[in-house]
Structure 1
């Protein structure tokens, strides 16, 4: 009886265990089914990162060349020589200034080589400038223009000789016997205490041709640059006291006085351009008139005529007002010159000297002006007035950090065609990019390609410029190599990717 009872209890226990296990399995199974929707497997989102390697089938490469110029003013000793005296000190200062411009990635210098018929170079036409030694006609013991050219060229920069074409000088100036004003007193007239050459005289145009030919023949300048001195400012709108009636009677040829004077400037510009090109075909000729068209017309100078006839290779209008100015809006003026250029490059002049004035309270105004110029057609750079103001802070640091962080090649200017070099043949070994010497190449440029945002456009940024034929690249970077001959640039053979 006891055995049977134990057996019964045993059977009941087994059943309970089986029931418990079954229920546990059911509960576990149900629990698992309930948890699965709350913990789905994680699927990584599709990658939005663009490939690091440039794709020649889908990507676009943008190579931009930009003129970055500065006026280096010698009149009144403003930028150079200042208070510095002595040949060695002045020479060293000039080289130092050019070196500092190079550090800003400036690639063109307009060196004021003649002011009021006084020369900063050895001339048989003009006396040495009094701004160098303090005495007109005194040899300074060195040749500033030659020094400036060598310093600029050795640093990969262009140097253009900037001259005042028609300004003779103040009537109070006592000139040496060899000064043109003493030699040719019948060729100039006076207006408000200043002497100006009479542009209506054919002999004055020949004189200016001889002046530019002397520079171009004797110095390895990259061009000749005129500023905004033509007929006297105010002459057109005031009582006319200009003594050119005799010349008008001889050469007026049925034109009104205003038409004749404007034509005189046109003929001068045309003649000077022909003289420059005849002496050195690759030397360019440019002019920097007032940034307001009406102002330059008031001097009987019409830049649109010059550009339409291709008598100049570029125009550098001095747009020395801020964006939004009530009567001289930089935006409107830049767009006007851009649309009126007839394909001639336009390089607006920027008023660095005005920083701190009401219209230019901060450097941001210049950032906006340069950005606007970069967005407009036919504008491929700017010219800064003047050197002193961009070599000191805050402009110096601002330009380095925000505008010209890397170098740029000078864009094509002028109609002269030098030989376009062939594209270098490029190879890669580990990180070393190598290319061959190219006939007619004066230097080589290595660009790093940088994707713009997340799109398919890439900027080309200069990483090397010089005569070597090797370059050490960086991992996951894309590069191209071109050959350069003056202002002519080759294409590139291929994009090199360093894994």
Structure 2
């Protein structure tokens, strides 16, 4: 997941907009959305099934205490959300009790000298979600190891303990540390085994309803130009053995190398799917995927359409984060065309919108299997340090929340 900034209007304008939005939603009247296309908002179709997903992503920055966890679950349930995608792994760390990876540092933002948060966030989240009648999906970032130019505080962190897991280019240099994620080598069998073990651990110990994979792709758009990854000797040896190629010098070689990386990512997804279902047969396997299936496959080496078709995944959530409704419809339709009968639940970037455009994209998502909003802290108040706490920002979040509560309360009851 990623996001950009959004200009915040005055709180007075937002409160006026909320009144208009709520009046239109509750009365079923037409409201002109403040969008760049797509026509007026008419409310949700009466035929929309009440059991369709109304999801929301809750990030690892949104909680630090058991009270934070319970409050997040409670307000999401009260707002009419049916599914919560609860982040439990950000960058090879754990927001649950784990013997495989260290605690996530965000849990200690208020107590930097602590080594244990004193509670198990995922256990609290699962229990509270089920008390509220909400499905909870454990959301993991698959390949990220670390972000930024510093180092993890915990020496047990894989970024420190397993430097050989990093991407190495053809000159022997590791992927540079920037404001993007440094990621693990997706072709390394040890990396695959570790990530699969993390997933098994979560699925076997927590009564989660779903396992949700994010950053299950090759982050080529954030890698230095002209570099080939992975190109360390061990990876190249595996590439040669798998493909029969003997160099990386030609365009055909590099295309084959990309195809090999794509297949290795698929191999891990298949392993996670198989092992998770063996432990918990009714679990739902889903992934946050690139906004367009062709772009996903070619630029992110994420063959998610294949994962759907062969039954490896039960659902995809394409991240169609845009303020252009025409682009939203185009990308959703592209996914629907390749998904067959498998559920496609579009991810809506509520952080980019005025409330009326979020409602418009909820309506435009009707051909899909519900929708999922990114993200919790742009709709509800939370401890997330990246969300501003000024009056105008609070008013915008209030406007989004009230509008979404009104429309979700009407789902299946019109």
Which structure: larger Rg? 1
* Alpha-carbon distance between aligned partners in 1 of 2:134 and 2:258, rounded to the nearest angstrom: 40
Map 1:219-298; keep pairs closer than 5 Å: 219-234=206-221, 238-246=225-233, 247-252=235-240, 253-254=242-243, 256-297=256-297, 298=299
Equivalent in 101, 104, 109 of residue 129 of structure 1: 104
Partner of 2:184: 197
Whether the 8 Å contact between 1:165 and 1:229 is mirrored in structure 2 is: yes
Whether the 8 Å contact between 1:129 and 1:136 is mirrored in structure 2 is: no
Q: Which has the higher helix share?
A: 2
Decide whether aligned partners of structure 1 residues 236 and 168 sit closer, same or farther in structure 2, where only a CA change above 3 A counts.
closer
Partner of 1:67: 53
Whether the 8 Å contact between 1:363 and 1:398 is mirrored in structure 2 is: yes
Whether the 8 Å contact between 2:136 and 2:209 is mirrored in structure 1 is: yes
2:158 matched to 1:180?
Answer: yes
- Aligned residue pair count: 327
* Alpha-carbon distance between aligned partners in 1 of 2:103 and 2:284, rounded to the nearest angstrom: 25
**Structure 1 stretches lacking a partner, 5+ long:** 1-59, 82-89, 356-361, 408-459, 463-499
* Alpha-carbon distance between aligned partners in 1 of 2:189 and 2:113, rounded to the nearest angstrom: 28
Equivalent in 374, 377, 385 of residue 385 of structure 1: 374
Map 1:85-484; keep pairs closer than 5 Å: 90-134=65-109, 135=112, 138-170=115-147, 172-189=150-167, 190-193=174-177, 194-234=181-221, 238-246=225-233, 247-252=235-240, 253-254=242-243, 256-297=256-297, 298-324=299-325, 329-355=327-353, 362-374=354-366, 376=367, 379-391=368-380, 392-401=397-406, 403-406=407-410, 461=413
RMSD: 2.4
What is the TM-score with the length of structure 2 in the denominator? 0.74
Moved more, 245-254 or 278-287: 245-254
Describe the SS at the equivalent of 2:319.
coil
* Alpha-carbon distance between aligned partners in 1 of 2:134 and 2:301, rounded to the nearest angstrom: 33
Equivalent in 60, 63, 69 of residue 80 of structure 1: 63
* Alpha-carbon distance between aligned partners in 2 of 1:136 and 1:226, rounded to the nearest angstrom: 31
Q: Which has the higher strand share?
A: 1
* Alpha-carbon distance between aligned partners in 1 of 2:325 and 2:49, rounded to the nearest angstrom: 31
Moved over 6 A (4+): none
Moved more, 181-190 or 365-374: 181-190
Decide whether aligned partners of structure 1 residues 280 and 136 sit closer, same or farther in structure 2, where only a CA change above 3 A counts.
farther
What is the TM-score with the length of structure 1 in the denominator? 0.62
More RCO (CA 8 Å, sep 6+): 2
